[in-house]
Structure 1
Amino acid sequence: MVKIGYRTLKTAVGTPVAISLAQWAGLSNFISAGILTILCIQPSRKSSFLSAWQRFIACTAAVVFSCIIFELLGYHSLSIFLLLLLFIPAMVRLKATPGIASSSVVMLNLYGSGNITLPLIGEQFVLITIGLGVGLMLNVYMPSLDNKLKKLQMQLEMNFSRMLYEYSLYIRDQNDKWQGEEIAATEDILTEAKQLVIRDKNNHLLRNEHTYYNYFKMRERQFELLKQMLPLVTHLPKTDYIALEIADFFERLSKAVHPGNTAITFLEQLKALKRDFHAEDLPETREAFETRAHLFQLLHEIEEYLIIKNKFKKSDVTPWKKRKIKKEK
């Protein structure tokens, strides 16, 4: 079954409404109102208002250009050639290129009349008002994207959790059964989420902050770090005591991936891990040295991962819990 989108529905509703209003007003070129409405329907409120303004500027300029050129050179195809030759660069200069198609409707109406009069010019502005006005009114309503963004957020967090858990398994016993499908899936989720967030931002003209925009930007930065961790995890020469501690840390972290911020808890645990790391005797073999180097870099990457989350929003961990963590350590 073919799904009908909101933009299609708005176009289907708005076009006959605009034509009916133009007919009711007694306008001769009433079909043009429907064409203008079709061209004005946009995917977001911001693009709708911008499009309507650009089209109004272009249509007004089209009336001026048409009056001058048609009245001076006559009503024939050469006049249209010269008109478009001058008009299109002018619209580019005025940054109103999206309005060229709409203004062409007005030009052809005036050309088809064979004689431009003040009442005819007035009629064109009524057509413009009806066509663009109906389109703007329909675009005031935009469906909420919160449910879609929430779903993508949940899918993303499940993938993050799975990646961290698989890292812990590999560090602990070099379990290589995982195929890494969550990595490709996460890239797709982030791409889709960014597109939806931009649309949602453009639907809220007076909102400066956008929670989901900041959230997915934060997760995108964390995802880059998770990808950087993968070769460090998979190229560990051997497993030692510190590696097992880090594996346990990754497993605990995999169970705490959520929209809230408890990063401070894990940063405290990470400090303790780093103290244990530095307290260990120096490696005596090349293999042990390479293991320590990989683990040290891994600790640095996971610390950056946690710091990014901690900066994203206010911590959900109360001061009492912070003191409790310190005492336990």
Structure 2
Amino acid sequence: MKKWTPKHVNWLKALKIAAGAVAAILLAEAFGLQNAASAGIITLLTVQNTRRETVMSSVRRFSGFAMMTLLCLPIYHFCGTAPWAFGIVLLLLLLICYSFRMDDATPINAVMATHYMLAGGVTLHMVGNEVLLLVIGSGIGVCLNWFMPRNLGKIHIMQRELDEEIRGILERMSMRLLEADHTGYGDSCFAETERLSGELRQEIDAFLQNQTWQDDIYFMRYVEMRREQCRVLQVIYRQLLRLNQVPEQAKPLSAFLADIAMHFHEGNDCSALLEQLESLYAAYRQDELPDTRESFENRAILYSILTELQSFLQIKRQFYLTLPEQERKQMFERLMQA
């Protein structure tokens, strides 16, 4: 269980809700609306973590209001406004909202159903009153979320953290290739990349939700590309552990891994590294065949690692080639500013 700290509290969201609720109540009172305090509750229920959630919850709330009013009109007219009549309205409203996955529309509309009940039924005046309460409460909630701070800066920082972790894996692999003893060479680094990529996905998802209707999937594609590369590195790690000697061919492969680590960044299209890999393939083909079974097995492991590195680089190359020109331009602008 994580220890609670003040940073776990969303102070900005709490402040926005409190200020928005007060503003909604004051505005409803200024319009002379009945049950003005409900406008503040509507603002509270409207403010979500992202712009898109906020807008969609407001749409569901207005749809639920229309259904609730249509239910109240005949039930309160023919059955009166006793508590049991409200129970019928609430039951039907819940069933409809649950069926259409509009659970978040039920609380405030249930409260508004009590407004109709206390007013003696549905009248044109009360419908207008409730609509204005919804407009004021939801409108202020949407406006508050429209100024949700963008988390692009945090995404860029987390991108660099993930890339640095992968670079470290490549550097350690480069050194371990030149060692026959792999004692103490663990795989905890992959748990760290999984953690970083998972947290980055969450930040990117929040970023996409705050775009309202515009989807910018570059960052999501980026983190998926890095996760795919990490899966390849895990295969290389398992192969590397099988090496029990250091063949002469391990030295150029170690140097190549070091080069990949050195040039490992967001903007590298990997074309030069893939050409370098082909040269290494050609050099391996010209080497003399191993003369012992153990040498043959270790040489085969090195060749398999080189094949996996080709997949590792091609993943990034394919990602780069499928980028629209505008996204490539934005990527290089970020790199120039970093």
2:284 to 277, 281, 291: 277
Pairs within 5 Å for 1:11-50? 11-50=17-56
- Inter-CA distance 206–77: structure 2 relative to 1 (3 Å threshold): closer
Question: In the TM superposition, what whole-angstrom CA distance separates every residue of 1:206-245 from its partner, at most 9, and x where no partner exists?
Answer: 5343332222121111111111211111111321011221
Write the distance in 1 (CA, Å) between the matches of 2:169 and 2:306. 16
Could you tell me which runs of 5 or more consecutive residues in structure 2 were left unpaired when the two chains were aligned: 323-338
Pairs within 5 Å for 1:218-257? 218-257=225-264
Question: In the TM superposition, what whole-angstrom CA distance separates every residue of 1:255-286 from its partner, at most 9, and x where no partner exists?
Answer: 11111114111101110111122222333333
> What is the DSSP-based 3-state SS (H/G/I as helix, E as strand, rest coil) of the residue aligned with 2:166?
helix
Pairs within 5 Å for 1:80-95? 80-95=86-101
Q: Does 1:195 align with 2:199?
A: no
The residue type equivalent to 1:256 in the other structure is H
Hey, what does 2:103 align to over in structure 1? 97
Write the distance in 2 (CA, Å) between the matches of 1:308 and 1:276. 24
Write the distance in 1 (CA, Å) between the matches of 2:128 and 2:121. 14
Write the distance in 2 (CA, Å) between the matches of 1:314 and 1:152. 23
1:152 offset after TM fit, Å?
A: 0.5
The residue type equivalent to 1:281 in the other structure is E
Q: Is the 8 A contact 2:247 2:299 kept in 1?
A: no
When normalised by structure 2's length, the TM-score is 0.87
> What is the DSSP-based 3-state SS (H/G/I as helix, E as strand, rest coil) of the residue aligned with 2:244?
coil
- What is the aligned length? 315
Write the distance in 2 (CA, Å) between the matches of 1:144 and 1:172. 45
Could you tell me which runs of 5 or more consecutive residues in structure 1 were left unpaired when the two chains were aligned: 316-329
The alignment's C-alpha RMSD in Å is 1.9
Write the distance in 1 (CA, Å) between the matches of 2:297 and 2:117. 80
Q: Is the 8 A contact 1:237 1:288 kept in 2?
A: no
> What is the DSSP-based 3-state SS (H/G/I as helix, E as strand, rest coil) of the residue aligned with 2:150?
coil
Question: In the TM superposition, what whole-angstrom CA distance separates every residue of 1:158-180 from its partner, at most 9, and x where no partner exists?
Answer: 11111001111111124545544
Q: Is the 8 A contact 2:43 2:141 kept in 1?
A: yes
The residue type equivalent to 2:6 in the other structure is V
Write the distance in 1 (CA, Å) between the matches of 2:256 and 2:156. 27
Q: Is the 8 A contact 2:72 2:89 kept in 1?
A: yes
Q: Is the 8 A contact 1:15 1:37 kept in 2?
A: yes
The residue type equivalent to 1:131 in the other structure is G
1:286 to 293, 312, 323: 293
Q: Is the 8 A contact 1:170 1:176 kept in 2?
A: no
Hey, what does 1:216 align to over in structure 2? 223
The residue type equivalent to 1:90 in the other structure is I
Hey, what does 1:2 align to over in structure 2? 6
1:69 offset after TM fit, Å?
A: 1.6
1:20 offset after TM fit, Å?
A: 0.8
The residue type equivalent to 2:31 in the other structure is A
1:314 offset after TM fit, Å?
A: 5.0
Question: In the TM superposition, what whole-angstrom CA distance separates every residue of 1:102-145 from its partner, at most 9, and x where no partner exists?
Answer: 21121122223334322112111111111111111111112111
Write the distance in 2 (CA, Å) between the matches of 1:28 and 1:234. 74
1:305 offset after TM fit, Å?
A: 0.8
Hey, what does 1:264 align to over in structure 2? 271
Hey, what does 1:78 align to over in structure 2? 84
Q: Is the 8 A contact 2:167 2:261 kept in 1?
A: yes
Hey, what does 1:322 align to over in structure 2? none
The residue type equivalent to 1:236 in the other structure is L
When normalised by structure 1's length, the TM-score is 0.89
